[in-house]
Amino acid sequence: MFDSVRGQLRETLDEIEQAGLLKPERVITTPQNASVGVGSAEVLNFCANNYLGLADNPEVIEAAKVALDRWGFGMASVRFICGTQSVHKELEARLADFLGQEDTVLYSSCFDANGGVFETLLDAQDAVISDALNHASIIDGIRLSKAQRFRYANRDMADLEAKLKEAGTARRKLIVTDGVFSMDGYVAPLREICDLAEQYDAMVMVDDSHAVGFVGPTGRGTPELHGVMDRVDIITGTLGKALGGASGGYVSARKEICDLLRQRSRPYLFSNSLAPMIAAASLKVLDLLETTSEARERLRANTERFRTKMTEAGFDILPGDHPIAPVMIGDAAKASAMADRLLDLGIYVIGFSYPVVPQGQARIRVQLSAAHSAEDVDRAVEAFITARG
């Protein structure tokens, strides 16, 4: 049977390559850090989500080593059978406290967290109103539910209000948005979203994967940035970016929501528990976040330095102050070729193109990190200037 399918798949793959949309995976030969080995070369890494530079932090690594000896390698079980240790409960309580919520449920990834929320909370009587640029995991999670679906233009509050009016007869209404949109670095207007939610009796859900740890005065994410921590009902996020960079995700929410997720959320019920050493290392990350702001301050300085110097050099960078700094190229093949040229110059970045971003909006998404030095940032800018030709 597969022989007849092989040619069809090969044809599709050839079309992807010919369109300049092939996404090869470069193999890193070192731990994740500001500098990484790619093949035989050491290059500056400007494409990881290692916002606070904690992926190779010695204290975090040591916490994981200690936990490996104490708690073992893995649980070999889902949570409700025999997969819950006290380290999991401790992390859930700490995350809830950190995010200003009543409870937290751990997942194997934020993709699974988003995949487990909508089907559990909503059915055909309900409505979900989603930002047009929300992450793929939100889109897929919504598809799993039977709820009425409405989509509003990115960060467009007039359109959101229109969709809330359309959903007026629904039993439950849930507005869902990314806190930070990962391809653009734009921040959702959460205060205005919460105002509309209260006006139209809707709940608010925020995927804050690209914010928790470094956005807001104390790193508690976009709800803290906008002063609406007590007005957001559900926060989903990841442990795989700023919070250590390993894996794992969570839903932090009102108690009743978390209670129901533990009973009905399929990705939670049928996936193995988060590895205990990751849970323990994540507790160390929270300790660091609550005792020092040094990494956040360094990240902000690096971000401002890169954005300012690239703008002065004439590059088209989407506006904002987030460490995601998209350098707009337009053509997919040109973006890919420029990324390859930058790698030759010692700067590891990736060109993003359709279907990750809209057609004609290919870009090189630069990710700043607290692990970078000012000299690293300047070297990246110089390499972009050289690669532009």
The model's pLDDT over 351-385, given as tens digits with 9 standing for 90+, comes to 988 878 888 999 999 999 999 999 999 999 999 99
Predicted local distance difference test score (pLDDT) of residue 333: 86
Segment 207-224 shows an average pLDDT of 98
Query: Which residues pair with residue 43 across a beta bridge?
Result: 36
Which residues have a catalytic role annotated?
A: 182, 210, 241
**DSSP per-residue string spanning 321-362:** SSSEEEEEEE-HHHHHHHHHHHHHTTEE--EE-TTTS-TT-E
| pLDDT digit string, tens, across residues 95-144 | 999 999 999 999 999 999 999 999 999 999 999 999 999 999 999 999 99
Q: What is the mean pLDDT of the chain?
A: 96
Predicted local distance difference test score (pLDDT) of residue 1: 78
Pick from 184, 231, 242: nearest CA to 209: 242
| pLDDT digit string, tens, across residues 308-339 | 999 999 999 999 999 999 999 999 889 989 99
With contact defined as beta carbons under 8 Å apart, do 217 and 224 qualify? yes
Query: For 225-251, b where at least 16 C-beta lie within 10 A, e where not — what string?
Result: bbebbebbbbbbbbbbbbbbbbebbbb
Predicted local distance difference test score (pLDDT) of residue 3: 85
Residue 19's pLDDT band (cuts 50, 70, 90): confident
Q: Which long-range contacts (CB under 8 A, 24 or more apart) does 221-225 make?
A: 221/99, 221/179, 222/179, 222/180, 222/187, 222/188, 222/190, 223/99, 223/100, 223/179, 223/190, 224/100, 225/187, 225/190
Predicted local distance difference test score (pLDDT) of residue 357: 85
